[in-house]
């Protein structure tokens, strides 16, 4: 009986998938077909999703209701916004997990190897019930690489969101201040120093107060790893290509894995930043302010800007709508006018467009076919688009000719980015934005694009083959992961405190040799060796 039912289900799924392939839009007929055979009985599933705290309740997401409907499932969602790591440990260790867990990297590769048997190897299910997932694997083979663990099994499915830029960090300077003081946009570190000095000494914002300008500001350093919007991108001037911000210092140069924390070029950068800090050109609170304050300060006071030179995701996000027109995005700098070093930038395309383990299934689930059917719905290109941006009709407009465009926010006061996060699963969801999908992006993504223009030359110049660390596509064994995370914790604690100490107080020249020795003691060479091994393997199999 049970077999018969599954057989029928499989058949129907096949039919549904076929019709899904022929025309992505007439999804309504699919529902009818499925509903007919199912005699309206829905399979009940449980699921956890780690969502963004801004994201609205799932019961209000129309696309999700429709997707569940089409898959013939009814999902009881547990929507987690906070303290997931704490919750996760007990859930996994007790084996008490729901049918589905959704959310990019909510379950890590390390979890898969630490909790064997807990998650379902979806390889077979994808073949039978996941044509959309299979389509993603066929069109973008790298997504299959991301999904496949060291043991060759697929426990978690990745996301691909296609439209995001090649870097997280854009560089902004206050053009109005430059104009006020009759200065040119700097092209190298020396000129930058002079410009910042002028910002400091003169009344650059023209409000009569010579002392309220903050020439340079950057994001809080953090205590675990570097994030985005840090001056570490300036190492691009010295030829270092950071990958995904290189938060732990690892980067690749000519196929060799290195760590910049013991690199002479890092020393040069820190010395330069110390020169700026000593001259009062960097916000004195740069190491103690939190991210909220970092953002607030840049919003200045009405029309009066406060910050001269900084990094951010997008200019209105960084300085607010009022001040945004004052700022221009700036090209990467050379170290000095006569520097011949190749210029690079942080290359973050992989981490911005791909994500690991966006959805996984419990091995104990009683309804694996139904669960896979639902997953398959998520990877339908038109559904994926709604996973990322919100429902058709309210968030996305159908142009009628097979193309779509993102609609502006219903609340005019809200920016498109916030609206996306509020309306849908956004970047946390499981999705596949096919390269063939015709979609016009919202104003926020368009301006990100245009603000990336000045960085284009540097980004295009990066040799993606030999100078980018493909972390996204590499799986480490549990033992290597453990070793690396222990060593990294020690290394970062030392490196981050020295970084901030040298910038604010100086002393790098005197302490450098000892420091390099100490960093060595934390086991960084062992880590480089491990990463190199995996990198070489990856290259070989490519």
Residue entry with tokens 């870097």: 167
Smallest gap, in angstroms, from Cβ of residue 121 to another protein?
15
| Residue closer to another protein (CB basis): 149 or 188 | 149
Smallest gap, in angstroms, from Cβ of residue 257 to another protein?
17
Q: In whole angstroms, what separates CA 447 from the centre of its chain?
A: 18
Smallest gap, in angstroms, from Cβ of residue 98 to another protein?
9
Smallest gap, in angstroms, from Cβ of residue 313 to another protein?
4
Phi then psi for 182, rounded to 5 degrees?
Answer: 65, 40
397: its two tokens: 């407009």
| Residue closer to another protein (CB basis): 195 or 230 | 230
| Residue closer to another protein (CB basis): 296 or 399 | 296
| 353, 157 Cβ separation under 8 angstroms | no
Smallest gap, in angstroms, from Cβ of residue 524 to another protein?
10
| Residue closer to another protein (CB basis): 129 or 421 | 421
Strands 438-440 and 403-406: parallel
- Cα–Cα distance between 310 and 131 in angstroms, integer? 46
Smallest gap, in angstroms, from Cβ of residue 23 to another protein?
30
| 394, 400 Cβ separation under 8 angstroms | no
| Residue closer to another protein (CB basis): 391 or 500 | 500
Q: Containing H/E element for 249?
A: none
| Residue closer to another protein (CB basis): 202 or 415 | 415
224: its two tokens: 């675990």
C-alpha closest to that of 328 among 458, 232, 455, 230: 455
The pairs formed by 146-153 with CB atoms below 8 angstroms and a separation of 24 or more are 146/354, 146/356, 146/472, 146/473, 148/475, 149/109, 149/112, 149/113, 149/475, 150/113, 150/475, 150/477, 153/121, 153/123
| Residue closer to another protein (CB basis): 126 or 323 | 323
| Residue closer to another protein (CB basis): 164 or 189 | 164
Residue entry with tokens 């020393």: 267
Phi then psi for 169, rounded to 5 degrees?
Answer: -100, 120
| 485, 477 Cβ separation under 8 angstroms | no
The dihedral formed by the CA atoms of 534, 112, 74 and 364, expressed in degrees to the nearest 10: 140
C-alpha closest to that of 442 among 428, 426, 453: 426
Smallest gap, in angstroms, from Cβ of residue 376 to another protein?
24
Smallest gap, in angstroms, from Cβ of residue 100 to another protein?
14
- Cα–Cα distance between 121 and 151 in angstroms, integer? 10
| Residue closer to another protein (CB basis): 15 or 271 | 271
C-alpha closest to that of 343 among 479, 218, 189: 189
**Cα→Cα distances 486→114, 197, 477, Å:** 16, 42, 14
Angle between helices 381-389 and 368-378 (to 10 degrees): 70
Smallest gap, in angstroms, from Cβ of residue 347 to another protein?
14
DSSP string, 377-391: HHTSHHHHHHHHH--
| Residue closer to another protein (CB basis): 291 or 438 | 291
Smallest gap, in angstroms, from Cβ of residue 419 to another protein?
8
Q: Which residues in 246-283 are b (16+ Cβ under 10 Å) and which e?
A: bbbbbbbbeeebbbbbbbebbbbbbebbbebbeeebbb
| Residue closer to another protein (CB basis): 85 or 460 | 85
Smallest gap, in angstroms, from Cβ of residue 373 to another protein?
24
| Residue closer to another protein (CB basis): 194 or 291 | 291
Smallest gap, in angstroms, from Cβ of residue 88 to another protein?
9
Strands 43-50 and 100-102: parallel
| 219, 236 Cβ separation under 8 angstroms | no
Helix, coil or strand: residue 404: strand
| Residue closer to another protein (CB basis): 145 or 495 | 495
| 214, 307 Cβ separation under 8 angstroms | yes
Smallest gap, in angstroms, from Cβ of residue 428 to another protein?
7
């Amino acid at each position: 009986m049970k077999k018969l039912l599954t057989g029928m289900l499989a058949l129907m799924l096949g039919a549904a998938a076929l019709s899904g392939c022929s025309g992505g839009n007439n999804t309504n007929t699919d529902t009818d077909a499925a509903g007919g055979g199912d005699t309206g009985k829905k399979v009940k599933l449980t699921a956890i999703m780690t969502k963004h705290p801004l994201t609205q309740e799932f019961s209000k997401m129309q696309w999700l209701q429709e997707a569940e409907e089409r898959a013939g499932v009814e999902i009881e969602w547990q929507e987690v916004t906070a303290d997931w790591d704490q919750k996760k440990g007990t859930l996994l260790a007790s084996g008490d997990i729901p049918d589905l867990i959704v959310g990019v990297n909510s379950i890590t590769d390390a979890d898969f190897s630490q909790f064997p048997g807990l998650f379902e190897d979806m390889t077979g299910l994808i073949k039978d019930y996941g044509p959309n997932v299979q389509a993603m694997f066929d069109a973008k083979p790298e997504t299959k690489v991301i999904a496949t663990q060291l043991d060759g099994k697929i426990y978690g499915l990745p996301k691909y969101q296609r439209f995001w830029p090649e870097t997280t960090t854009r560089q902004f300077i206050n053009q109005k201040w430059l104009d006020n003081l009759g200065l040119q946009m700097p092209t190298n570190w020396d000129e930058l120093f002079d410009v910042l000095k002028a910002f400091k000494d003169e009344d650059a914002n023209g409000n009569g107060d010579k002392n309220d300008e903050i020439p340079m500001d950057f994001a809080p350093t953090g205590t675990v790893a570097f994030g985005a919007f840090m001056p570490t991108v300036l190492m691009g001037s010295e030829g270092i290509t950071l990958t995904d911000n290189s938060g732990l210092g690892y980067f690749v140069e000519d196929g060799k894995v290195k760590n910049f924390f013991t690199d002479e070029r890092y020393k040069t950068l820190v010395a330069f930043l110390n020169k700026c800090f000593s001259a009062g050109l960097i916000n004195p609170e740069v190491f103690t302010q939190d991210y909220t304050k970092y953002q607030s300060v840049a919003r200045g006071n009405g029309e009066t800007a406060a910050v001269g030179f900084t990094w951010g995701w997008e200019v209105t996000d960084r300085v607010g709508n009022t001040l945004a027109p004052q700022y221009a995005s700036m090209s990467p700098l050379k170290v000095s006018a006569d520097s011949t070093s190749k210029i690079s930038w942080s290359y973050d395309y992989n981490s911005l467009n791909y994500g690991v383990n966006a959805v996984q299934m419990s091995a104990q689930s009683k309804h694996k076919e139904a669960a896979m059917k639902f997953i398959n719905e998520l990877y339908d290109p038109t559904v994926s688009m709604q996973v990322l941006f919100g429902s058709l009709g309210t968030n996305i407009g159908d142009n009628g000719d097979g193309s779509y465009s993102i609609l502006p926010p219903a609340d005019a006061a809200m920016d498109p980015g916030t609206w996306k996060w509020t309306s849908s699963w956004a970047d946390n969801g499981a999705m596949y934005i096919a390269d063939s999908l015709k979609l016009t992006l919202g104003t926020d993504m368009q301006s990100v694009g245009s603000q990336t223009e000045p960085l284009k030359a540097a980004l295009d110049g990066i040799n993606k083959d030999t100078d980018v660390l493909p972390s996204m596509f590499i799986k480490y064994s549990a033992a290597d992961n453990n070793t690396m995370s222990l060593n990294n914790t020690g290394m970062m604690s030392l490196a981050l405190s020295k970084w901030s100490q040298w910038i604010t107080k100086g002393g790098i020249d005197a302490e450098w040799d000892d420091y390099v020795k100490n960093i060595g003691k934390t086991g960084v060479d062992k880590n480089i060796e491990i990463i190199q091994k995996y990198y070489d393997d990856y290259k070989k199999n490519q």
